[in-house]
Structures are given as structure tokens and as C-alpha cells.
Amino acid sequence: MKNFTSVADVQNPIALINEAIALKKNSSAYSDLGKNKTIGLLFLNPSLRTRLSSQKAAQMLGMQVMVMNLDKEGWALEWNDRAVMNGNKTEHIKDAAMVLSSYFDIIGIRCFPTLTNREEDYSEHVLKQLIKYSTVPVISLESATLHPLQSLADCITIIEMSKSTKPKIVLTWAPHIKALPQAVSNSFCQWMKALGMNLTVTHPKGYELAPEFADGIPVEYNQQKALQDADFVYVKNWSAYEPYGQTPVVSEDWLLDEKKMHAANARFIMHCLPVRRNVELPDELLDGKRSLIRLQAENRLYSAAIVMKKLIENKAI
Amino acid sequence: MKNFTSVADVQNPIALINEAIALKKNSSAYSDLGKNKTIGLLFLNPSLRTRLSSQKAAQMLGMQVMVMNLDKEGWALEWNDRAVMNGNKTEHIKDAAMVLSSYFDIIGIRCFPTLTNREEDYSEHVLKQLIKYSTVPVISLESATLHPLQSLADCITIIEMSKSTKPKIVLTWAPHIKALPQAVSNSFCQWMKALGMNLTVTHPKGYELAPEFADGIPVEYNQQKALQDADFVYVKNWSAYEPYGQTPVVSEDWLLDEKKMHAANARFIMHCLPVRRNVELPDELLDGKRSLIRLQAENRLYSAAIVMKKLIENKAI
Amino acid sequence: MKNFTSVADVQNPIALINEAIALKKNSSAYSDLGKNKTIGLLFLNPSLRTRLSSQKAAQMLGMQVMVMNLDKEGWALEWNDRAVMNGNKTEHIKDAAMVLSSYFDIIGIRCFPTLTNREEDYSEHVLKQLIKYSTVPVISLESATLHPLQSLADCITIIEMSKSTKPKIVLTWAPHIKALPQAVSNSFCQWMKALGMNLTVTHPKGYELAPEFADGIPVEYNQQKALQDADFVYVKNWSAYEPYGQTPVVSEDWLLDEKKMHAANARFIMHCLPVRRNVELPDELLDGKRSLIRLQAENRLYSAAIVMKKLIENKAI
């Protein structure tokens, strides 16, 4: 069974990116491809871009789409095997997945982490259970630890905007007021590694990323130094991996601004959105010429569409 | 006006089942039938299978579909005629039904019972008021006392899987931790009677089903005895009809298992889902070869589709 | 950029009404017009008629439709520029609008007033911010101060039902139990003025409408006198403009009935719905021959469709 839950599910990431770029240039060419196919987009968490871009991508391919806020509009789900369901959970994922597989040709699911139980989150328990019991392909619409459709869109954006074949890319931690998942950052690291990109990560001490995904990527704790001559600066907050889900106090100023970008001779800024303006990134950068956020959001359409296209065609992703 | 709210609305139940089985074998043949028709699926309660299978069935017939969580996304509804609406209800069903009838060619509604007011529930006040004020056909997506689309799917499943023309069918009460509606059980009884099936009901004393639907069906209070040589064992919890909505304590063990099924030489188990695993039915039965739950869920598509097809064609159901 | 937020956005209101009436007679003629176009319908508040009629109108024109309960299913939005987003708002409208504009060809939004901050409400802060940051046309699905799609449907209804070229129209305040927006009443006044209609407003002292919209329209504080020989009586509750959002006690009886209508030789009653029966209007009028509420609701389809048609065709509205 083919699924799309991480770059590890992709046979040839650079080929996939190039196919997405080709699709973007010819997006109306496949409007009959998904005829008589139905995709179910299931949400356990809020979503704007993913919800809408996935719908639109499916429609671009001629598929029927059903969107469901799974546990609000359906039944509270039990995710653990062999559970004696005498609590507040009404339906087991085993049964729900079987039913969904009867009605859908592809299932997309968004399932955020708890940020309280690292073992459970990093085992991707929820996503894995859905996949275990589904008989159709599953697409991650952001799971506990990864957000591959976002990363694919980010890669498309970098390839589109890069002047050189080996751009310098920096992933920088940014301030925030609450604990956020590590999924976007983990996923970005994973894709950059798969593509052999020149990535440096910069963050305050205590915010080291999960070794599962960041191992081997150089870390530079001095943000200004990390930014030097960067072509792409990916800005993102995340909570600590250890102690898990915590947000150790950071006394230095990690908020980027034009001055820092200019001083470092750095070029573009990227953010997956939603962004807390003037907390994670200032208006001047988000709204200025360095900003690629619009292009990233637009590329979510083609990131989703190329993955769905492969699954409809039953080809390796 | 044709509606589909119970087997009483069906002219020839066995013919309808056979037409559903024929449709299942040729499900792409009617993709233009509902062109320019729109169905509105309205939910006052949670739904997974019904929500999704009804959407998919409508799309199978080429209809437009709109799904709405009626009182959460719209206005709180007043269901009583001549009400002075100075409380917390914002819109009268009389007006809502009129509006819905202007926009939809068929209306589906899910409206669970209160389980506190038997007279109101068994009068199907909500469903009846919708029908009274609608000018288009209404399909029950499970009402206070009946779930006819589920029963139709169950009948399709039994016909498909039955070796004999007169299989032995048992409806058995199962344990649960909270008070559930009687709709699925009532409806199953009603359809079995209409089809002249050989049905026995088994349940603890105090859990007698509504005479409106179960009259004339033999009751065997000894579960093991009831199961003997059963071809189909339909498992379902329900709360008491008298005292209404209560759950009198049951000290005996009513949870089925492989051992009991084997001892009774019983064959298939059925359940409408959602099922509380290891409370209503054990994993070993739900996941074993006796289980028809997957087929039942799949047949929800054709149960919904055949009913919609009849209504689109403006034929007797 | 063309938007539809008030009659002020309409070049020729009477021509638009006539085109809507023509479209109504030939509603299947444009089922390919919106091919490959997508409309996003975004709701910050409850909606029945607007939600469903807008969907259906878009489908009538062959558009893809996505409906979203914007801040419940997406992220809590910040509407103020230059905000330091360190509170409970997760995404800025600037970014959301940019993303929505990437995915949609037309955006519809419903954004009710606070009824606590008149300056903010009457500046249409939310709607204006969306428009400011969108790069595609925006349709108001009822904003803080206006409900132009409703008014357009009301005008269609009046033109369809009017015997004379200059019917007498009365907008009367009606009792209610809570503070309601002024949007429907403001909007009705604005359209009547734009059409040069013969409108009188009647309401208790203290319920004067916003001068922005009602200036120049005669007010008659005696309801019975106002009703005399009226062809159309538009019934609506609204809260006070000054003190804003308050509901000063009204001791007189403002609830219309058949007797009053008859005594005044008045003809039709109109209401935008939802209506609190027997509080705002009695059953006898809502259900009687004078009632145009069904026609108004039906005309919502053509009101929405004609506006979308103009925007798809990129023509002046």
C-alpha cells in the first residue's frame, strides 16, 4: 500500500518536485484523472491552508471530496488496540478506518501531537493506526511529528526561486508565546537531507530538534552567524524535544528583522503560516520583498495535487 | 409526497433489496440520473457512516450534495407549532423546512431521540414536523425510533450472505455503559417482519422492545438458547422502553464470544457500528470470520443510493 | 477590484434586479459559466439561507464551492494591522486573505457586528480588512451593517409582486427579546433609496436607524398610520443605533396582526428570516396569503447567482 506520510515514502524527491512544477504550469490538464474517485479529508485539528488546498487539489484532478471534522462531526475515536471501550470513546479506529476505506479511494488525515507524551507522538500512533486499518492510501495532512505536504511545497518554492544549484538554507527558531509542534521543522530537515541540500539549523540551546530527523544537520547557536549569506531563511517556532513539549525561557532576541537580514547578506524568508506577526516575524519582513510566504501557500496546491495524482495513477510517489 | 422514514414507506421491500443489489453491481450506471438535483443532508447529531455514505450515494447518482450541521451552523430550531418564540430558539421548523424545500430536491435528516420523553420520541415529533412543512421528499438518516437506511443495508447483507431462503436470525441485546436509542433494533424488527423473516429477539428482562415494532416477534430470554443454530446474530444495545430510556442493571453476562457462538452452532455476527469493542462485542468476534460489519457498512452506500434513485425518478420506493 | 458589499457597489440596481429575474426564468443556462472557478464561502456566524443559497447559486453557475466556518475550523483571526500577536489570535487576516486569494476566484464572508463598538462596526472593519488584503472579489454574506444579498432578493420580490410602478413600502420595527443587528434594515433602506422607491420607516422613538443609511427616508412613529395603504410591509427588529446596540423598553404594542393590516388596507408582509414567530410576527400573518417570506427565500438563489455571474464574467455589477 502506498501512503504519503514523509519523504521516506517518496522514491525520488527531486523528480517529484519537478513533476509538481510541471503540473503547476499545466494544472487543468488532469481534470478527468480522478473521475469516479473520492478523497476523504479528515481533520482532528484546525486547518486553513491544508483544508482548502487539499480540497482544491482534489477538484483540480476531478475527484469528489468529502471533508469531515472527524471527532466533532463523527464519534470520539479510540486509537488503542484491544481497548475495553468503557470510557468516553465511542468508535474504534479499526472500525472507522474500515468504513472510510469502503467509501474513499484516498484518505487524508490531520492529527497533531499531544506534546505531552513524546513516545506516543514520535511513534505516530494515530497515523500508524489509521494506516494499519485502512485498505486505501493515506496522506498525512500533518501528523504528530511531520508535515510532508508543507515540506514538499517548501521544496517546490526553493527550487523555483533558487539562483544556484546549491543554495544556502537556514532553518531558524523564532519566538512564540506557546508550545508548538516540531512537525514542520522536523519535516523540513528530513526533506532537505533527502535532497542533499545545504541546510544549517539555528536555535537557542535547549531547542535541539529530534535526532530522528535532524541528525547530521549542522547546528549554529549564533543566529546572526548562521544567517550569513543565506539564500533562504526558514523561520519557525518549535517547542523543546527534551524536556518534551516544554518552552525553556530564551533571554536573547531571536526575532529576525530587516537589519539582521541585511547585515548577514541573507536573502529570502520563508514561513509555513499561520504566523504570529511581530512575535515570530515582523511585518517588515513578512510584507517585504524577501517574503516567499505567498508562493509557499500557493505551492501547497501543487504539492497536494502531485501526491494525489500519483496515488490515483497508482504509481510510486 | 414520497418519503423514506420506515419500511412502511416501502411498497415492496424485497424488490427494493434486490434493486439495491443490482445497483451495487452496476454502480456507475446512474451517474447522470441526478443531474441538476440537489440533496441536503442535515444533522442534529453525530454521524460517520450515514454522513459519508449518503454523500457518496448522492454523488454516485450525479446529485449535488450539501451537508449541514443544522443547529450548530444554522439557527436553533423551534419544533412546536404555535410556539411563542421568546426563548432560546431562533427559527421555526416551519420556516426552515420551507426554505430547505426551496433549495433542495430531497432532504435527509438525522434527529436522535431525547430518551427522556417517550411520547414525544415515539411520535417522531421532529421528523414529522419536518415532513409536514417540507414540500420535497424527506429521507430519515436515523430518527428518534427508527433507522431505515441501516436496516435496508442490513437486509441487503443478509440476502447477500444467506445460504437458505429462510435463515434463522437473532437480534440480541448487548451490554453498554450508557443509554442508547432503540432505533436500530426497532427498525431491524420492523424490516424483518415486513420481509417475513424468521427473527427471534433475546434480551434481559426489562429490555422489552417497543410493542409498536416488536409485537409478534418471539422473545427468548435465554441468550444461549436463542442463538442455537442462528445464521445471523444481530448484536445491539438499547435502553429500556419502560421505564423509558433507563438502563436497569443486568447481572448476567450478555457479552457474546466465540465460545458461545460455537456452542450454539451460530454463524454470522452483525452490528451497525459504532461498536464499543470489548463492551458490546469482543475483538475476536468483530475481527473474525463471522463478522459482517464491513459488508454492512459498505452496503450503506447502496441502501442510500437505491432510495435516492427512487426519489429522483419519482417512483414508489 | 469589484466587490459586492452594498448597493453602492452596483452600477445600475434596477438593471441588476431585472437580470436576476431573467436568470430565474432560465436558471440552467449558465451551468458552464463558472467552470474551473472556485468560490470560498466563509462564515464567522450562523447561517441557513445564506449558506445554502450561496452554495446552490454557485453550483447553478458550475463553480466549485468550499464552505468553511472560518474561525472554528481554521485559526482564530487577528484583524488589526501592526498587531503584536501575543494574545489568543493565531493568524492575521492579511495572511489568511492572501492564502484565500490563492485558492479562490471569489470569496464570500459573513461577519456580524459586535453591537458593542459602533465605530468599529460601522467602519466595517472586518469586511474592509478582508477586502484590503484579498486580491479576488469579495461578496458580503451579511456584514456588520449591511446585508446586500438579502436586500437584492427583497427587491426582486417587490418588483415581481408589485402591481404599480411606485408601490408604497413600509419598513416597520417589530418586537424581539434580544438585541439584533441593524444590517437588514440599513441595507433595505439603502436599496430602496437607490431605486427611488416610496419607503416610509416606522419604529418606536429611540430606534432611529443609522443616518448613514436612513437619512432622507420619512419616519412615521405611529405604526398604524404608517401602514395605511401600504403595498409591502417589511417587518424587522433592530437594536438602537444610539445608545448603540441597546434595546430601550417599548411599552406600546408593535406586534402586527391581521386586524391591523386589514384596518390599514395594507397588503403584503415581508421578513428576511429567521423570524421568531408570535414575537416578531404572528403565525396568522406569516402563514397567510399576505406573506412573501417563501418568495423572498427562494429569490436569495437568484440574488446570489446574478452577483456571482457578474463577478465570473468580470463585468460591472
Residues 6+ apart with CB under 8 A from A309: A23, A30, A33, A61
B24, B28, B49, best to mutate vs chain A, most A CBs in 10 Å: B49
**Cell numbers representing residue B278 in the block:** 470489548
Q: How far is B64 from chain A (nearest CA, A)?
A: 11
C306 and C285 housed in the same domain: no
Give domain status of residue B2, yes or no. Answer: no
**A2: exposed, middle or buried (C-beta count within 10 Å: 0-12, 13-18, 19+)?**
middle
CATH number at residue A244: 3.40.50.1370
Residues of C with CB below 8 A from B133's CB?
Answer: none
For chain B, the DSSP string reads: ---BSSGGG-S-HHHHHHHHHHHHHTTTTTTTTTTT-EEEEEESS--SHHHHHHHHHHHHTT-EEEEEEHHHHS-PEE-STT----SS--EEHHHHHHHHHHH-SEEEEE----SS-HHHHHTTHHHHHHHHH-SS-EEESS-SS--HHHHHHHHHHHHHH-SSSS-EEEEEE---SS---SHHHHHHHHHHHHTT-EEEEE--TT-PPPHHHHTTS-B-S-HHHHHTT-SEEEEE----TTTTT------S-----HHHHHHTT--EEE--S---BTTTB-HHHHSSTTB-HHHHHHHHHHHHHHHHHHHHTT---
A137 and A172 housed in the same domain: no
Contact C274 B75 (CB under 8 A): yes
- Selecting from C73, C84, C96 the residue whose C-beta is nearest the C-beta of A46 gives C73
Contact A283 C36 (CB under 8 A): no
- Give yes or no for a cis peptide into C181 (omega within 30° of 0): no
DSSP for residue A291: B
Percent of chain B at pLDDT exceeding 90? 97
Q: HSE (CB half, 13 Å, CA atoms) of A262?
A: 7
pLDDT, tens digit (0-9, with 9 covering 90-100), for C137-165 = 999 999 999 999 999 999 999 999 999 98
C205 and C279 housed in the same domain: yes
B255 and B308 housed in the same domain: no
Given the DSSP bridges, would you call strands B198-202 and B91-92 parallel, antiparallel or unpaired?
Answer: unpaired
Count of domains observed in chain C: 2
Task: Specify the amino acid at residue C26.
Answer: N
Give domain status of residue C317, yes or no. Answer: no
Distances (CA, A) of C119 to A100, C213, C244: 49, 15, 10
Residues of C with CB below 8 A from B102's CB?
Answer: 294, 297-298, 301
A302 and A292 housed in the same domain: no
Q: How far is B73 from chain C (nearest CA, A)?
A: 5
**Residue for cell digits 455589477?**
C317
Band of residue B295 on the pLDDT scale cut at 50, 70, 90 = very high
Instruction: Give the H or E element holding residue A117.
Output: none
Contact B96 C48 (CB under 8 A): yes
Residues 6+ apart with CB under 8 A from A289: none
A67, A77, A99, A136, best to mutate vs chain B, most B CBs in 10 Å: A99
A183 and A208 housed in the same domain: yes
B283 and B263 housed in the same domain: yes
Contact C274 B91 (CB under 8 A): yes
Q: CA of B135: which chain C residue's CA is closest?
A: C294
Contact A293 C83 (CB under 8 A): no
Q: How far is A277 from chain C (nearest CA, A)?
A: 6
A119 and A174 housed in the same domain: no
Band of residue B1 on the pLDDT scale cut at 50, 70, 90 = low
C143 and C11 housed in the same domain: yes
For chain C, the DSSP string reads: ---BSSGGG-S-HHHHHHHHHHHHHTTTTTTTTTTT-EEEEEESS--SHHHHHHHHHHHHTT-EEEEEEHHHHS-PEE-STT----SS--EEHHHHHHHHHHH-SEEEEE----SS-HHHHHTTHHHHHHHHH-SS-EEESS-SS--HHHHHHHHHHHHHH-SSSS-EEEEEE---SS---SHHHHHHHHHHHHTT-EEEEE--TT-PPPHHHHTTS-B-S-HHHHHTT-SEEEEE----TTTTT------S-----HHHHHHTT--EEE--S---BTTTB-HHHHSSTTB-HHHHHHHHHHHHHHHHHHHHTT---
Identify the pLDDT of residue C206: 97
Contact B46 A73 (CB under 8 A): yes
Give domain status of residue B1, yes or no. Answer: no
- Selecting from C75, C95, C100 the residue whose C-beta is nearest the C-beta of A46 gives C75
A181 and A279 housed in the same domain: yes
Quote the mean pLDDT of chain A: 97
Contact C175, C248 (CB under 8 A): no
- Selecting from C28, C46, C298 the residue whose C-beta is nearest the C-beta of B73 gives C46
- With 90 as the cut, is the pLDDT of residue A316 above it? no
Q: Report, as ranges of residue numbers, the positions in chain C whose pLDDT lies below 70.
A: 1
Full residue range of the structural domain in which residue C114 is found: 7-147+300-312
C73 and C136 housed in the same domain: yes
Identify the pLDDT of residue C119: 97
pTM score of the predicted model: 0.97
Give domain status of residue C2, yes or no. Answer: no
Angle, vertex CA A293, rays to CA A288 and CA A295, nearest 5: 110
Give domain status of residue C157, yes or no. Answer: yes
Decide if the complex's ipTM is over 0.85. Answer: yes
Of C48, C157, A43, A82, nearest in space to B100 by CA: C48
Angle, vertex CA C232, rays to CA C228 and CA C238, nearest 5: 95
Cα(A131)–Cα(A133) distance, integer angstroms:
5
DSSP for residue A243: T
Contact A85 B276 (CB under 8 A): yes
**Cell numbers representing residue B68 in the block:** 449541514
C59, C73, C77, C130, best to mutate vs chain A, most A CBs in 10 Å: C73
Identify the pLDDT of residue C165: 87
pLDDT, tens digit (0-9, with 9 covering 90-100), for B153-202 = 999 999 999 989 899 999 999 999 999 999 999 999 999 999 999 999 99
- Selecting from B59, B69, B298 the residue whose C-beta is nearest the C-beta of A102 gives B298
Q: HSE (CB half, 13 Å, CA atoms) of B120?
A: 11
Identify the pLDDT of residue C1: 63
Contact C254, C219 (CB under 8 A): no
Q: How far is A76 from chain B (nearest CA, A)?
A: 10
Task: Name the strands in the sheet holding B64-69, side by side, starting at the edge strand that comes first in the sequence.
Answer: B64-69, B38-43, B106-110, B138-140
Residues 6+ apart with CB under 8 A from A152: A16, A17, A20, A191, A303, A306, A307
Residues of B with CB below 8 A from A109's CB?
Answer: none
Contact A12, A294 (CB under 8 A): no
Cα(A160)–Cα(A146) distance, integer angstroms:
23
Distances (CA, A) of B22 to B29, B154, B303, B305: 11, 16, 11, 11
B304 and B287 housed in the same domain: no
Q: Which residues partner with A38 through β-bridges? A: A64
Q: How far is A269 from chain B (nearest CA, A)?
A: 38
Give domain status of residue C133, yes or no. Answer: yes
Residues 6+ apart with CB under 8 A from C131: C1, C3, C5, C138
pLDDT, tens digit (0-9, with 9 covering 90-100), for B228-248 = 999 999 999 999 999 999 999
Of A42, A50, A141, nearest in space to A101 by CA: A42
Contact C268, C292 (CB under 8 A): yes
Chains that touch A (3 or more CB pairs under 8 A): B, C
Contact B74 C47 (CB under 8 A): yes
Contact C102 A279 (CB under 8 A): no
What are the backbone angles phi and psi of residue B299, rounded to the nearest 5°?
-70, -15
Q: How far is A286 from chain C (nearest CA, A)?
A: 9
- With 90 as the cut, is the pLDDT of residue B316 above it? no
Give domain status of residue C1, yes or no. Answer: no
- With 80 as the cut, is the pLDDT of residue A1 above it? no
Identify the pLDDT of residue C67: 97
Cα(A71)–Cα(A126) distance, integer angstroms:
13
Cα(B250)–Cα(B104) distance, integer angstroms:
46
Contact A279 C91 (CB under 8 A): no
Residues of A with CB below 8 A from B61's CB?
Answer: none
Q: CA of C65: which chain B residue's CA is closest?
A: B66
pLDDT, tens digit (0-9, with 9 covering 90-100), for A121-179 = 999 999 999 999 999 999 999 999 999 999 999 999 999 999 998 999 999 999 999 99
Task: Specify the amino acid at residue B84.
Answer: V
Give domain status of residue A238, yes or no. Answer: yes
Cα(A89)–Cα(A92) distance, integer angstroms:
8
Contact A95 B298 (CB under 8 A): no
- Selecting from C46, C52, C283 the residue whose C-beta is nearest the C-beta of B66 gives C52
Q: How far is C148 from chain B (nearest CA, A)?
A: 19
Contact B98 C294 (CB under 8 A): yes
C92, C94, C106, best to mutate vs chain A, most A CBs in 10 Å: C92
Contact C125, C145 (CB under 8 A): no
pLDDT, tens digit (0-9, with 9 covering 90-100), for A241-258 = 999 999 999 999 999 999
**Cell numbers representing residue C78 in the block:** 487577528
Cα(B76)–Cα(A253) distance, integer angstroms:
49
Identify the pLDDT of residue B182: 98
